[in-house]
């Protein structure tokens, strides 16, 4: 038996605002959509991996989601960390910086934290 990652899900209050944020901040694109009577599911992809981020929008929901202590996050690797950091600073969505670890976090419209990690070159395996 073998399991593999497929997607992560988050619920969003304003679907269009979230779609714009994920497109503008991270370059994610819509890959699939399922519309039901009371909710819409939108899957976003990065055009490189098969992993998806599923946004669920409940049509009748008007209040913000309770994220508790918000101790969870989704991480993204970026090939140009400095350019990404400058872009996110300009977007005013950087919510936490950790220079010692060489990472930072951005916050989406619903308060979810997204970790930004610089691409690290792999060292050759010793023979």
CA dist 67 and 110 (Å) reads 9
Looking at 35, 48, 92, 115, which residue is catalytic? Answer: 115
| Rounded (10°) CA dihedral 119, 122, 123, 127 | 180
Check if 35 is active-site.
no
Q: What angle do CA 99, 68, 34 make, to 5 degrees?
A: 95
* Active-site amino acid positions: 115
């Amino acid at each position: 038996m073998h399991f593999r990652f497929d997607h992560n899900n988050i619920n969003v209050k304003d679907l269009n605002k979230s779609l714009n944020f994920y497109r503008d901040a991270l370059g994610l694109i819509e890959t699939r959509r399922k519309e039901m009577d009371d909710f819409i599911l939108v899957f976003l992809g990065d055009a490189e991996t098969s992993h998806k981020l599923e946004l669920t929008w409940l049509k009748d929901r008007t209040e913000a989601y309770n994220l508790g202590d918000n101790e969870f996050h989704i991480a993204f690797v970026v090939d140009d960390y400095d350019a990404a950091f400058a872009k996110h600073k300009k977007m005013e969505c950087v919510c936490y910086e950790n220079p010692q670890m060489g990472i930072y976090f951005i916050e989406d419209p619903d308060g979810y934290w997204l970790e930004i990690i610089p691409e690290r070159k792999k060292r050759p395996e010793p023979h």
